[in-house]
Structure 1
Amino acid sequence: MLVIRPVELTDLPQLQRLARESLVGVTSLPDDTERLRERILDSCTSFDRAVEAHGPENYFFVLEDSSDQRLVGCSEILATAGFEEPFYSLRNRHFTSASRELNIEHGVPALSLCHDLNGHTLLRGFHIDAALARSPASELLSRARLMFIAAHRQRFADAVITEIVGYSDDQGHSPFWDAVGKHFFDLPYAEAERLCGLESRTFLAELMPQYPIYVPMLPQPAQDCIGRIHPDGQDAFDILEREGFETNSYIDLFDGGPTLYARLADIRSIAQSQTGTALPSDTCDARGRYLISNESLNGYRAIVADLDYRQGAPVALSPEMCVALNVTDGSPVRLVAL
């Protein structure tokens, strides 16, 4: 059975494997032992901390196959983007110029460096084994984070964002980076993203152009990358789009990938999830497939389960499900239809 749980320090060797396999652009999963160790310890501290409002906490989850304790994916929630340093994006909006004498008004799309998205909760670090892409496991890995937010709302902002990895080719070249960022750093795209994972995006962002970049002046391949998703990032995009996330006027400043946005009240796994109590049972007449989690904090667990759920009634769970969720008779649980 596949189970979502908080990361532990003993997961470090397996996380290094996931980092090596992850898509270029997933900068929150650096292939570096010390940075991963710091990320794990930071997450452990965040889960243990008593929190009344969203702050700098980072919640790191892993997807584990309970049959052999092998990690097959990971994902994160940063409670507050821009809490400790600005969260930079490119704002894509029209600049309008007009001539009264000629009676001409003309709008030109332009990209401007900004940190408008500071203060939002950020979903990041999504990675799953290729064999499990576009499966219920992908839904579990992505949406379990949202159910965690539903159970612990005081720890998060009222709106959530995520950046989807933008387009780069099989050789790791990004037409958007080559047309914009590369003029300010003598670095290939993959190396720039690697440095962001090891350090932060701030030192690179501060060297980016401070004035608007007029989109029509970019090469056509770069223009075509604005808001374009890397094929391997489509699964993550589709899941969140079904959740109610929408694209907005912001893109990633390195590869031009889209940013998704949603308010908590509009997110399906938060607004439509139901709470109940666990009822251990040797027989479960399954009528539907659900994502189900406990309501714990540092003992958080979530799985996909076939259940016979009726609102207001206890949720019948097999012994295997109870073990996976670490619940007993009467324990609170949360579930939403898959």
Structure 2
Amino acid sequence: MLVLRPVEPSDLPQLQQLARESLVGVTSLPDDSHCLLQKIRDSQRSFASPVQSNGRENYCFVLHDLEHQRLLGCAEIVATAGYQQPFYSLRNRPFISASRELNVHHGVPTLSLCQDLSPHTLLRGLHIDAELQHTAFCELLSRARLMFIAAHPQRFAEAVITEIVGYSDAAGESPFWNALGKHFFNLSYVEVERLCGLQDRSFLAELMPHYPIYVPMLTPDAQACIGRVHPAGQEAFDILEREGFETNSYVDLFDAGPTLFARTPSIRSIAHSRTATARRGTAHAGQTTYLICNDAVDDFRAMVVELDWSADEPVTLDPATLAALHLTDGSPLRLVAL
């Protein structure tokens, strides 16, 4: 039985193991016990804080195998992407050059350093065990964060973003980084991503060029990376795309991976989730897979359950599922079909 819950201090050793296994580019999961312990403590404070608007909070969740007492994944929400430090991105927009005398009107794509996305809520830190990829549990890990936002909208911004890891090869080389960022830092892509995990990335961003970068002047390999998803990040991209997230004109500062954007109220798991009442009983195998959670804050729990459920009816759950979700007979819950 797998359940998603807030991270706890005792999770540190297993969380660090997840960090070791995570994809290069997932900078919010550094393989460093001090940084991860600080993340856990910040998350605990965030869950415990009675906030009424989005601020500096970050909420870290883990996917817990109750039977074997092991962690199989993790994911995070940052209430405000640029609350403590500016959240830098590259804005991909054309620069228009025109001459009436020559009858020329031409748009050249450019990348410009910006902080436009700083006010938005940020999804990050998604990592799941390889054996659970392309299963309903990957949906659980990604989308339960959205259910938490649905339950506590006052804690988050009116728009949500996420950066999908951009392309790098099997050796960890990023053509985009090699063509651009490496000229400003004598560091490999792997090294710079590791530094971003250990420290706030704004100190590196501030050394990047502050003038527009003309895309045609980059190498063809680097240009091909702009907005390109790393193959290992495709599932995360697809899940959120089905949720209504869309690519926009922003890409990651270091590998040019795409940024996904959605207005919070229009996200599928938020707009379509429904509240119901839990009923203790004998649950029969259902025909529909649901993501189901309680509406707690620091005691938040979410699972994937097979149900036959009709709107306005109670949700019948067996005692083990009720206990795993920290629910009792008559408790309110939230659910949405996968």
The TM-score with structure 2 as length reference comes to 0.99
Alignment partner, residue 11 of structure 1 = 11
Query: Any residues of structure 2 matched to 1:38-117 within 5 Å, and which?
Result: 38-117=38-117
Alignment partner, residue 141 of structure 1 = 141
Alignment partner, residue 192 of structure 1 = 192
Structure 2: which amino acid aligns with 1:160? Answer: V
Distance (whole Å) between structure 1 residues aligned to residue 227 and residue 285 of structure 2: 45
Distance (whole Å) between structure 1 residues aligned to residue 285 and residue 247 of structure 2: 40
Distance (whole Å) between structure 2 residues aligned to residue 25 and residue 286 of structure 1: 39
Distance (whole Å) between structure 1 residues aligned to residue 237 and residue 214 of structure 2: 27
Count residues with an aligned counterpart.
Answer: 338
- Percentage of matched positions with identical amino acids: 67
Q: 8 Å contact 1:159–1:262 — kept in the other structure?
A: yes
Query: Any residues of structure 2 matched to 1:167-246 within 5 Å, and which?
Result: 167-246=167-246
Deviation at 1:284, TM superposition (A): 2.6
Alignment partner, residue 281 of structure 1 = 281
Structure 1: which amino acid aligns with 2:111? Answer: L
Q: Deviations over 1:271-301 (max 9, x none)?
A: 0000001001123352311000001100000
SS of the equivalent of 1:169 reads coil
Distance (whole Å) between structure 2 residues aligned to residue 238 and residue 69 of structure 1: 29
SS of the equivalent of 1:72 reads strand
Q: 8 Å contact 1:289–1:337 — kept in the other structure?
A: yes
Say whether 1:160 aligns with 2:152. no
Q: Deviations over 1:252-274 (max 9, x none)?
A: 01000000000012100000000
Deviation at 1:319, TM superposition (A): 1.3
SS of the equivalent of 1:254 reads coil
Alignment partner, residue 31 of structure 1 = 31
Q: Deviations over 1:131-151 (max 9, x none)?
A: 111110100000000000000
Q: Deviations over 1:86-133 (max 9, x none)?
A: 000000000000111111101000000000001100000000011111
The TM-score with structure 1 as length reference comes to 0.99
Say whether 1:269 aligns with 2:269. yes
SS of the equivalent of 1:113 reads strand
Q: Deviations over 1:181-234 (max 9, x none)?
A: 000000000000000000011000000001000000000000000000000000
Specify whether residues 172 and 285 from structure 1 end up closer, same or farther in structure 2 by C-alpha distance, changes over 3 A only. closer
Deviation at 1:318, TM superposition (A): 1.2
Unaligned runs of 5+ in 1: none
SS of the equivalent of 1:108 reads strand
SS of the equivalent of 1:36 reads helix
Say whether 1:294 aligns with 2:294. yes
SS of the equivalent of 1:3 reads strand
SS of the equivalent of 2:137 reads helix
SS of the equivalent of 1:173 reads coil
Structure 1: which amino acid aligns with 2:200? Answer: S
Distance (whole Å) between structure 2 residues aligned to residue 285 and residue 230 of structure 1: 37
SS of the equivalent of 1:256 reads coil
SS of the equivalent of 1:297 reads coil
Structure 2: which amino acid aligns with 1:272? Answer: H
Alignment partner, residue 250 of structure 2 = 250
Distance (whole Å) between structure 1 residues aligned to residue 223 and residue 35 of structure 2: 34
Q: 8 Å contact 1:308–1:316 — kept in the other structure?
A: no
SS of the equivalent of 1:329 reads coil
Say whether 1:309 aligns with 2:320. no
Query: Any residues of structure 2 matched to 1:122-141 within 5 Å, and which?
Result: 122-141=122-141
Deviation at 1:323, TM superposition (A): 1.2
Alignment partner, residue 259 of structure 1 = 259
